[in-house]
Amino acid sequence: MSAGTGQPADLQQLDHVWGPRPGFVGWLGQCNHKAVGRRFIFTAFAFLLVGGAMALLMRTQLAVPANDVLGPDAFNQLFTMHGTIMMFLFVVPMLEGFTIYVAPLSLGARDMPMPRLNALGYWVYLLGGLFLLSSFLVGAVPDSGWFAYVPLTGPDYSPGLNLDFWLLGVTMLEVAGIVGAIEVVTLVARFRAPGMSIFRMPIFVWSGFIASVMILFAFPPLVAGTVLLELDRKLGTVFYDATAGGDPLLWQHLFWWFGHPEVYIQLIPALGMAAAIATAAAGRRMAGRTAVITALVAIGILSFGLWVHHMYATGIPLLATSLFTAASFMIAIPSGVIVMAFIGTMWWGRIRWSAAMLYVVAFVFVFVAGGITGVMVAMVPFDWQAHDTYFIVAHFHYVLVGGSLFPILGALHFWMPKLTGRMLDERLGVVAFALNFVGFNLTFFPQHALGLFGMPRRVWTYQEGLGWDGLNLVSTAGSYVMGLGMLVFTLALLRAHLPGAPTAPDDPWGADSLEWATASPAPNYNFRSTIRVRSPEPLWDRRSTLGDRDGPDPDPPEWQRRIDTAESGLRQAVATTGLDARPDHIVTLPGHSLHPLWVSLSLAVLLVGVLVDAGVLAVVGLVGLVAASAAWLWPGVE
Amino acid sequence: MRRVVVIRQATVAAAAVLLAGCGPDPRDSVTDPASPQAAHIDALWTLILWLGTAVWIGVMVLLAVPLLRSRRRRRERPAAHAASTGRSDPVPAEATPSPGAATAPAAELDEPLAVADPREHLDAQTDQRVRSRLLWLGGIVVPAVILLVLLVAAGRVGGLTAHVERAGELEIEVVGHMFWWEVHYPELGITTANEIHVPVDRPVRLNLTTDDVIHSFWIPRVHGKIDMIPGRENQLTFEPTTTGRFRGQCAEYCGIAHAQMVAFLEVQEPDEFDAWVDQQQRDAVEPETESQLEGQRVFLDAGCAACHTVAGTEAVAGVGPDLTNLASRGSLAAGIRPNTRDDLRELIIDPWGVKPGNPMPPTILDDDELEALLDYLEALE
């Protein structure tokens, strides 16, 4: 391992150059993808627990008819925040966090192409999340549902600060999402290890790439929509006011143009995670690898043509809505291909069971059911009955828990060794899995029936004698079981990080992709030497040159020797060409920087100023924003 | 043994809870249609329920087979399994797959098939044909055929249930308010609230609008829901074929009391409906007793008349529901309470307790005034 140029002294130099600066300020100014990715993942996990606790409160209120645990105000705030937290603060940032941590390692890169932008994404996300949650402190919690339909959210019917918290907070989170997406797209386009052509990329990286491209197209319309609504609220414009020639349906179109792809933005990277877990567990390439990637791309494109299927009941003519039925059906085909590919992979592989793999099986089990109810509600006449009822609540929880949460929990098991160097306890993991799986189905399966029995969603109470009592009680009991499952999962997560817990080997799963070629947790410099990839499964093909495992390249070209020894004392990495990943040029990456933090803080001050109508504060924030951006971009600084 | 007992007890308990859940019949279910429109949708639901269940079971069988087989295989070949988990085993050079396409990235779409353990390479190659059949048949062909069938079914049911103008239909205007329903019969000159009376076997057309935010009108047993959107008018056409009192709730979240915005559809025999129309078309019953006269005075003076109408009196305001025939209705506060004297009293003195978020303010009256007011209101048939 220590032949050639890879002497321990070089390693020290490499580690020094790529490591964080010492002290608290150094910790604060970290921009490396591993630090940022870990922060995203653990922050998002904390928000998951917050959002889940809210769900338990709501289920407690609905356990029996005419319950009074919560009043209507509290309940309406909770379902609004539950949806908002799960969508904007948990799933998307969690998936971005995994992409940011894992993708550069899977691609054999040393860092993301724009590390400071990466850090900016995290700070804006964190502050946006805290901004939203701070509404609990001032008692003005958003309470109009996560899709915030006008005119209920307009100046006339929501005069308080509640909706301003939501609009400004969500706008910040959208900005964070767009920033992360730009980063991932650039990473995938130019930072793959030499030899990793576009078709050799792991499926998980493909999925993160597709979701990022989708974010770039889906999020800006919502930013536009929320800004228009904020203008209506703050400056008295009438974009959505029907009495003055505006149109409330404009909001719905803008929102669902974002909102529908958003569902798939939450699904696609999770599919990639499940694919990574299944490939490793089966010990062979995903069945129909190319078909799976093609199907992911197809879902990404088709998902932009479905938004009206959230609006069947608005009175849009049947012919128009029927076209969206056909479009919605079309997405079932690539989804079917993906499900079959998972089954095929399990069919011909020799599965090594782990808690992570159990979550993959649960994903197929639950997601297929959610997909089938999805086909049902894509049919216009049936949706007239099912729309806005608990049938829909059950449907999208089957899709999002099955298609997103379960793969994410599996991914935490799967990549935790690489993230922190600790294995999660398998026995606790299996117990948590069993509780989650049983609890989930017990919670949401009865809700299908509740919807058909006439129970609308978003009701804080219901009367006795409607035939809803028993099913609601079962559902609440199920939610407690799932809550217990998440508690056990959290305990497993904490226990693995107690002092003295066993450390993880480099490659505990016998997996195929490059992140497993380096130490656990991944060292600051990712790989000792530049990797050369020769197939889609570089750890299995025995032909690729792997930085750590095989020792450094004995006879590297001059540019590679300079990068691998970090003799210049700069963070240098090789950028490669877009399709076949030939070495193209050397880029120098920034390391420590506090500018992203200052920019995000200024943005937060600006938004608080707008929120409370304090012009001075807003101007201070704006000036800070301009100054911090200028300092960031000033040539030669940092 | 003890564990078995515990598991059995848990299973019995779970089954009991589930049975309790399924026990009482739902009051108003989509699957219990009372009009041809709802029946068509119910038929579509039956079709997709069975097809969907069949598809789900089919996929689960496909999923279960490999899982069971994989267990068996593992038992049969423990050596190979150990080799694939650990990496200590040096791999013989000849087992390495040929590096044929190594330099041509584009050619490496699916070949050569990569496996963690090179000794399983040949094994893996033999799966190729079945694998592609699984993807093609299971992933594309079978779903496409099913979806085409469903597309035709959805289109046909859509055509049968969508709004079309019909001869002889009864036209009713329903206006959504936070948080109640205003009901007009333009041809009959009737205004009422929250309870829609229609004759059986006659097409009904609802013209749906809103006075404030978006609501969604839904009576599950006669038709699907349709939104009430500011600046638009939506139509819903159905033909009730069963008499009865059908319940429905606002389906689009409309604010704090969204959960307590209930509508009833009262489908009556034609002669009963005619009698109801006759009753509703008259002005309010004149107060007769002294107490009722006092009650009317209270009604007009204490602020009630600022929001409510009682036809034939000075009360003509349109903010709250029309009370001309209040006593003829079966429910109060948009369908959440029965129309009894006690509930009415509670609604007048504590409207926010009955229905949090109710725009109606509490009315402060002494006991005599309150009882007189109730006497008056209870006489408004």
CATH assignment of the domain containing A175: 1.20.210.10
CA of B37: which chain A residue's CA is closest?
A381
**Interface-testing mutation among A343, A367, A475, A550, with chain B (most B C-beta atoms within 10 A):** A343
**Interface-testing mutation among A251, A289, A452, A471, with chain B (most B C-beta atoms within 10 A):** A452
Q: Does residue A343 sit in the same domain as residue A455?
A: yes
**A314 in Cβ contact with A252 (< 8 Å):** yes
Contact yes or no for B45 and A382 at CB 8 A: yes
Task: Spell out the residues 6+ positions from residue A249 whose beta carbon is closer than 8 angstroms to its own.
Answer: A311, A314, B229, B232
B218 CB neighbours in chain A (<8 A) are 454, 456
B107 inside 8 A of chain A by CB? no
- Give the count of alpha carbons within 13 A of B347, CB side only: 21
Task: Specify the number of domains making up chain B.
Answer: 1
Q: Does residue A484 sit in the same domain as residue A600?
A: no
Report which DSSP code applies to B228. E
Report which DSSP code applies to A532. B
Q: Please tell me the distance in Å from A224's CA to the nearest CA on chain B.
A: 22
Burial class (CB in 10 A: 0-12, 13-18, 19+), B46: exposed
pLDDT attached to residue A557: 86
Q: Please tell me the distance in Å from B121's CA to the nearest CA on chain A.
A: 9
- Tell me the residue range of the domain where A605 lies: 595-633
Contact yes or no for B212 and A157 at CB 8 A: yes
pLDDT attached to residue B283: 86
Strands (E) located in B82-169: none
Contact yes or no for B356 and A73 at CB 8 A: yes
**Interface-testing mutation among B37, B57, B110, with chain A (most A C-beta atoms within 10 A):** B110
Q: Please tell me the distance in Å from A605's CA to the nearest CA on chain B.
A: 30
Q: Which amino acid is at A186?
A: T
Among A462, A496, A530, residue at a domain's last position: A496
- ipTM score here? 0.92
Contact yes or no for A541 and B114 at CB 8 A: yes
Q: Please tell me the distance in Å from A120's CA to the nearest CA on chain B.
A: 35
Residue B111: inside a domain, yes or no? no
Pick from A77, A93, A178: nearest CA to A129:
A93
Residue B301: inside a domain, yes or no? yes
Contact yes or no for A470 and B97 at CB 8 A: no
Whether the link from the prior residue into A552 is cis, omega within 30° of 0, is: no
Q: Does residue A475 sit in the same domain as residue A599?
A: no
Structure tokens at A629: 């951006």
Contact yes or no for B251 and A314 at CB 8 A: no
pLDDT tens profile B272-321: 999 999 999 988 888 999 999 999 999 999 889 999 999 989 888 889 99
Residues of chain A with pLDDT under 50: 1-7, 638
Contact yes or no for B135 and A452 at CB 8 A: no
Q: What is the pTM (predicted TM-score) of this model?
A: 0.92
**B181 in Cβ contact with B263 (< 8 Å):** yes
Which of A352, A365, A372 is facing B85, going by the closest CB pair?
Answer: A352
B21 inside 8 A of chain A by CB? yes
Contact yes or no for B154 and A283 at CB 8 A: no
Reduced to 3 states, what is the DSSP secondary structure of residue A237? coil
Q: Does residue A478 sit in the same domain as residue A601?
A: no
CA of A295: which chain B residue's CA is closest?
B139
Between CA A368 and CA A365 the distance in angstroms is 6
Residue B83 pLDDT greater than 90, yes or no: no
**Interface-testing mutation among B29, B221, B225, with chain A (most A C-beta atoms within 10 A):** B225
Residue B10: inside a domain, yes or no? no
Residue B32: inside a domain, yes or no? no
Q: Which residue has the higher pLDDT, B332 or B86?
A: B332
Reduced to 3 states, what is the DSSP secondary structure of residue B372? helix
Between CA A242 and CA A409 the distance in angstroms is 45
CA of B19: which chain A residue's CA is closest?
A470
Between CA A69 and CA A54 the distance in angstroms is 13
Between CA B313 and CA B95 the distance in angstroms is 99
- Tell me the residue range of the domain where B364 lies: 290-378
Q: Please tell me the distance in Å from B323's CA to the nearest CA on chain A.
A: 24
A290 CB neighbours in chain B (<8 A) are 109-110
**Interface-testing mutation among A67, A252, A253, A284, with chain B (most B C-beta atoms within 10 A):** A284
Q: Does residue A389 sit in the same domain as residue A271?
A: yes
A443 CB neighbours in chain B (<8 A) are none
Residue A521: inside a domain, yes or no? no
Task: Spell out the residues 6+ positions from residue A213 whose beta carbon is closer than 8 angstroms to its own.
Answer: A181, A185, A300
Between CA A387 and CA A424 the distance in angstroms is 40
Q: Which residue has the higher pLDDT, B69 or B140?
A: B140
Rounded to 5°, angle at Cα A291 from A286 and A293: 80
pLDDT tens profile B201-251: 999 999 999 999 999 999 999 999 999 999 999 999 999 999 999 999 999
Task: Specify the number of domains making up chain A.
Answer: 2
Residue A197: inside a domain, yes or no? yes
Among A463, A496, A529, residue at a domain's last position: A496
pLDDT attached to residue A296: 97
Residue A529: inside a domain, yes or no? no
Contact yes or no for A348 and B118 at CB 8 A: no
Q: Please tell me the distance in Å from B293's CA to the nearest CA on chain A.
A: 36
Contact yes or no for B140 and A337 at CB 8 A: yes
Among A455, A471, A496, residue at a domain's last position: A496
Contact yes or no for A466 and B247 at CB 8 A: yes
Q: At what angle do helices A289-302 and A203-235 cross, to 10 degrees?
A: 10
Per-residue burial over A441-470, b = 16 or more CB atoms within 10 Å of its CB, e = otherwise: bbbbbbbbbbbbbbbbbbbbbbbeebbbbb
Residue B91 pLDDT greater than 50, yes or no: no
Residues 22 through 51 of chain B touching chain A, CB cutoff 8 Å: 22-31, 38, 40-41, 44-45, 48
Which of A199, A382, A460 is facing B105, going by the closest CB pair?
Answer: A199
Contact yes or no for A541 and B97 at CB 8 A: yes
Contact yes or no for A376 and B48 at CB 8 A: yes
Residue B344 pLDDT greater than 70, yes or no: yes
**Interface-testing mutation among A379, A389, A438, A535, with chain B (most B C-beta atoms within 10 A):** A379
Which of A242, A381, A465 is facing B224, going by the closest CB pair?
Answer: A381
Q: Does residue A284 sit in the same domain as residue A401?
A: yes
**A404 in Cβ contact with A91 (< 8 Å):** yes
Contact yes or no for A388 and B216 at CB 8 A: yes
Reduced to 3 states, what is the DSSP secondary structure of residue A112? coil
Residue B314: inside a domain, yes or no? yes
Residue B94: CB atoms within 10 A of its CB come to 6
B44 CB neighbours in chain A (<8 A) are 379, 381-382
pLDDT attached to residue B5: 58
Contact yes or no for B231 and A289 at CB 8 A: no
Residue B362: inside a domain, yes or no? yes
Structure tokens at A512: 């195929």
CA of B261: which chain A residue's CA is closest?
A459
Contact yes or no for B132 and A313 at CB 8 A: no
Q: Please tell me the distance in Å from A441's CA to the nearest CA on chain B.
A: 12
Cα A554 to Cα A344, A561, B156: the distances in Å are 40, 10, 70
Contact yes or no for A351 and B70 at CB 8 A: yes
pLDDT attached to residue B11: 58
Q: Does residue A467 sit in the same domain as residue A616?
A: no
Q: Which CATH number does the domain housing residue B369 bear?
A: 2.60.40.420
Cα B146 to Cα A609, B52, B160, B293: the distances in Å are 55, 10, 21, 69
Which residues are paired to B177 by β-bridges? B180
Average pLDDT of chain A, as a whole number? 92
Q: How many CB pairs under 8 A join A and B?
A: 347
B55 CB neighbours in chain A (<8 A) are 368, 372
